[in-house]
Structure 1
Amino acid sequence: MIRLFACVLAVAATPAMAQTLRIGIGADPNVLDPARSGSFVERVVFTALCDRLLDIGPDLSFRPELATAWAWEDGGRSLRLTLREDARFHDGTRLDAEAVKINLDRYRSAPESVRKSELRPVTAVEAPDARTVIIRLDQPYAPLLSVLSDRSGMIMSPTALARLGARIGEDPVCSGPFRLTRRVAQDRIEMERVPDHWNAANIHVQRVVMQPIPDSNVRLLNLRAGQLDLIERVAPSDVASARRDARIAIAESTAIAYQGIYFNTESGALRDPRLREALELSIDRGIINQVALDNLFVPNNQPEAPGTPYHFANRPVPGRDLDRARALLRDAGQPNPAFTLLTPNAPMETQVAEVIQSMAAEAGFRVRIETLEASTMVARADSGRYDMAFGIWSGRADPDGNIALWIASDGFLNRMKYRNPQVDAAFIAARQSTDPATRRGFYQAAMDQWMADRPMLILYHFRWFWGMRARMEGFQPSPDGLIRFSGLRLPPG
């Protein structure tokens, strides 16, 4: 904690402080390459560095960014994009249709890319002229717009890609409002304003310094001390006191993000589905919300929040049933199973893990909590060396992006090694329709099956809370939890 606080003080001493926006983020990014990225905090950084083809508005509608217009053609088997004329990469080269094609082809085929599954229906990317991109599909693919509003829509400099290849994350050259000037692992990410950015007139700070501070209490302490200007993810336990502090302001938004825990179904200690069912029956999501989250989040067992079009009221949050849980453990021949829960190094998740540990113990589980830095935890899970781990999902505007990337056999976040042909088939059918009622039916069928198998448990949907210096202007809360820099102004003084 002392080291992190000292690092923030060092940032405060940098030149031109009044023009420097100092942001406390929840973790150190693992890799700054959209092709390889898999964590939420990387998306926060990318919002400053890398423009996307499309953006998401506060109402979750799609809006222009690098693409100024788009249209479906050929019965939904082609998407035509019109690019803006005034976009440039940070190395000064023009962003054109050929650059978009190079990036999309890399995401589709490069060995290091984890974007392959979300672009699998794409059969070809064409650039008939400098401002037109045509994406050909083997079948209608409703989630494509949502995909292009995230990392698959981030366009990097072909010159930099040719120079660095799979090492592009060491020097990401994009087209966002800020360019990377320095990164010190576990310490800071420094960026400077791009004066010829197409939206430069609305970018009002000269520098951005992002400081990874996993402890939410330390982030808030530094904000209160004036050493940070903006922090993400204020802990629920701190919201009330932060609102009473005249030095800072709190912005909030209902989130499309959710917190889950996922299981190693291939070789983990809970690979028997009876053990996973018993664990779910041993916990109470409402108690987790009360004890660890100050009743500020939304207990849930589904990837879509209650009240949204793809939430299914006929699958409510199950109640706690210790007798049934114990019976399942006896039936599995393991009345006192032991497993390790990987937890990120953050106070809120640690407290949630401790509540789960306590409740599960009443059913007979012996839970060991192992706390890791976020990128280390993801690396452990990716290698299959885990029993159960926390997994936050920042949410997408399309329902497919909120579950298939975790549950589908080829999902890039399927660290559980879960495979179910019926679930895969339902996801594929849902993607091929733009009719909401038809899609609901397929997502319901998929959910009925994966909920029975339990490769993961969804615990709650978040509310996003950002803390900032009082009188900061232009901050726009968004359900996706990202920070938009357009219009953002530091307070005077």
Structure 2
Amino acid sequence: MRIAAWAVVLAALATPAAAQTLRVGIASDPNVLDPAQSTAYVERIVFTAICDRLVDVGPDLAFRPELATAWAWSDEGRTLTLTLRTNARFHDGTPLDAAAVKVNLDRYRTARESRRKTELAPVTAVEAPDARTVVLRLSEPYAPLLSVLSDRAGMIMSPTALARLGERIRNEPVCSGPFRLTRRVAQDRIEMERFAEHWNAANIHVQRLVMLPIPDSTVRLVNLRSGQLDLIERITPSDLAEVQRDRRLRVAEATAIAYQTLYVNVVVGALRDPRLREALELSLDRDIINQVALEGRFVANNQPEAPGTPYHFADLPPPRRDLARARALMREAGQPNAAFTLLAPNSPVESQVAQIIQSMAGEAGFQVRVETLEASAMVTKSERGQQYDMAMGIWSGRPDPDGNIAAWIASDGFLNRMSYANPVVDAAFVAARRTTDPAQRRAAYHQAAEQWLRDRPLLILWHYRWFWGMRAGIEGFEPSPDGLIRFAGLRLSR
């Protein structure tokens, strides 16, 4: 949509009657608003407003209470007991008790439509011995479980609404978060109102919340500067200096656990020959991509954990650009002019990166066609089993290292759109999940990385830094490495 058209659309929100309305510009439109089916990052931003989780994550990536006020391990790591808060309820008035939590966790573990099955695979039973106690029985110790419960698999929906709406729950989520969904217009807006009966309502200071999907980062910024938006996510590195010079605005930032990747269809795509995938990586220079497209603001990297963190492996660095070797591999594969299509989101930064990849790969002999799509359409087109070659993807990151790679690389990972399967990698992930000892986990993830970095179903390009832009009147915003917006304590003045 043109900038002028967006200004007209958003002007309707800038009225005195909307004095307690927080208007947030988000980078894309959610596909589904059902935690069981969700896979897109932007959906997590919306869920943070409407769906409480069992466990939250703080800015230090430490776990903190949300619906569960306490948790304890027993039976040598095979039992996790959660204690629920007493003052939570769903938006439709249904009590939020242990029975409701059991309904949700069982759905995530077993429902046909659920993408959470892999994450909860070690859970063999969910028990509700009383209204405030939930017991999870595991087949084996599972170190990532708290991290799993701090994301979609820990989001609890109303069992009454689940029974009433069935599959329509994906469009009409009923949760227990600080805001209640009132209206959604696809590709246009998501409207919410403050839930007065929320357990933390006293700390929610905004009466209405409107999220507007605006893929073009320039348009998001224009509307922030004109006063049509109060807060925007994902300021592009090229716009940072401009925002920082504007005294009406301010920037909040955090080092991200998120990363950017290229994922490859390794079974039926044009790059199914591993020699071509190696040649493609050798044609790229991550540092140049970071400098040219990202103002050098991000961290060039080939791994799911950022450099300097415990599960990053300095002995497995990205290969240096080597066009001669890339061309030799393409000839060896019998495809000196291999052609493939790269799916890219319709945002300025990713589109520019796609063009740089197209140019760099072209110097090795690749013929790259870039197809630009709306983010949710791109995900749908690249889902497992679909015919595609390569796509750009962002992973928002998790506090536990398992959540940063296994969802993509494990043969049963819910994000394994590549149809990649390697028994060595799968076995290493299983070993890492069965222990809480950091040294043992590090050794297992290193073994997995050695293998999948050779196989190249993913080519990770960089780790992000999150940049949010907001009006100077916004108070109480707390930046977080996971990129999500927590609304508790956030205030606005006009």
Q: Take 2:10 and 2:370, find their aligned partners in 1: how far apart are those partners? A: 29
Q: Take 1:446 and 1:11, find their aligned partners in 2: how far apart are those partners? A: 50
Aligned to 1:102: 103
Q: Take 1:457 and 1:116, find their aligned partners in 2: how far apart are those partners? A: 26
CA deviation map 1:281-319 (0-9, x unaligned): 000000000000000000000000011110011011221
Percent identity, aligned pairs only? 74
Q: Which consecutive unaligned segments of at least 5 residues does structure 2 have?
A: none
CA deviation map 1:315-360 (0-9, x unaligned): 1122100010000001000001111000001001001111111111
Give structure 1 regions of 4+ aligned residues with deviation exceeding 4 angstroms.
Answer: none
The residue type equivalent to 2:114 in the other structure is S
Q: Take 2:153 and 2:394, find their aligned partners in 1: how far apart are those partners? A: 19
**Could you tell me how far 1:7 is from its partner in structure 2?**
2.2
**Could you tell me how far 1:385 is from its partner in structure 2?**
2.2
**Could you tell me how far 1:186 is from its partner in structure 2?**
0.2
Answer yes or no: is 1:210 the counterpart of 2:211.
yes
Aligned to 2:417: 415
CA deviation map 1:416-437 (0-9, x unaligned): 0001011001001100000000
The residue matched to 2:119 in structure 1 has which SS?
helix
Answer yes or no: is 1:163 the counterpart of 2:170.
no
CA deviation map 1:185-208 (0-9, x unaligned): 000000000111100010000000
The residue type equivalent to 1:487 in the other structure is G
Aligned to 1:463: 465
Q: How does 1:278-427 map to 2 (within 5 A)?
A: 278-382=279-383, 383-427=385-429
Q: How does 1:60-99 map to 2 (within 5 A)?
A: 60-99=61-100
**Could you tell me how far 1:18 is from its partner in structure 2?**
1.2
Q: Considering only aligned residues, what root-mean-square deviation do their CA atoms show, in Å? A: 0.8
Aligned to 2:187: 186
Q: Take 2:395 and 2:167, find their aligned partners in 1: how far apart are those partners? A: 25
The residue type equivalent to 1:354 in the other structure is Q
Aligned to 1:26: 27
Q: Take 1:42 and 1:237, find their aligned partners in 2: how far apart are those partners? A: 25
The residue matched to 1:159 in structure 2 has which SS?
helix
The residue matched to 2:316 in structure 1 has which SS?
coil
Q: Take 2:73 and 2:319, find their aligned partners in 1: how far apart are those partners? A: 41
Q: Take 2:463 and 2:310, find their aligned partners in 1: how far apart are those partners? A: 15
The residue type equivalent to 1:118 in the other structure is E
Q: Take 1:12 and 1:340, find their aligned partners in 2: how far apart are those partners? A: 42
The residue type equivalent to 2:299 in the other structure is V
* TM-score normalised to structure 2 length: 0.99
Q: Take 2:40 and 2:311, find their aligned partners in 1: how far apart are those partners? A: 24
CA deviation map 1:188-236 (0-9, x unaligned): 0000001111000100000000000000110000000000000000001
Q: Take 2:6 and 2:325, find their aligned partners in 1: how far apart are those partners? A: 46
Q: Take 1:230 and 1:359, find their aligned partners in 2: how far apart are those partners? A: 36
The residue matched to 2:13 in structure 1 has which SS?
helix
Residue of structure 2 aligned with 1:429, choices 431, 439, 460: 431
The residue matched to 1:339 in structure 2 has which SS?
strand
Q: How does 1:100-139 map to 2 (within 5 A)?
A: 100-139=101-140
**Could you tell me how far 1:165 is from its partner in structure 2?**
1.8
Q: Take 1:150 and 1:173, find their aligned partners in 2: how far apart are those partners? A: 17
**Could you tell me how far 1:12 is from its partner in structure 2?**
2.5
The residue type equivalent to 1:77 in the other structure is R
The residue matched to 1:362 in structure 2 has which SS?
helix
Q: Take 1:190 and 1:144, find their aligned partners in 2: how far apart are those partners? A: 32
Q: Take 2:13 and 2:443, find their aligned partners in 1: how far apart are those partners? A: 52
Q: Take 1:317 and 1:107, find their aligned partners in 2: how far apart are those partners? A: 37
Answer yes or no: is 1:248 the counterpart of 2:234.
no
CA deviation map 1:90-145 (0-9, x unaligned): 00111000000000000000001000000000000000000000000000000000
* TM-score normalised to structure 1 length: 0.99
The residue type equivalent to 1:178 in the other structure is F
Q: Which consecutive unaligned segments of at least 5 residues does structure 1 have?
A: none
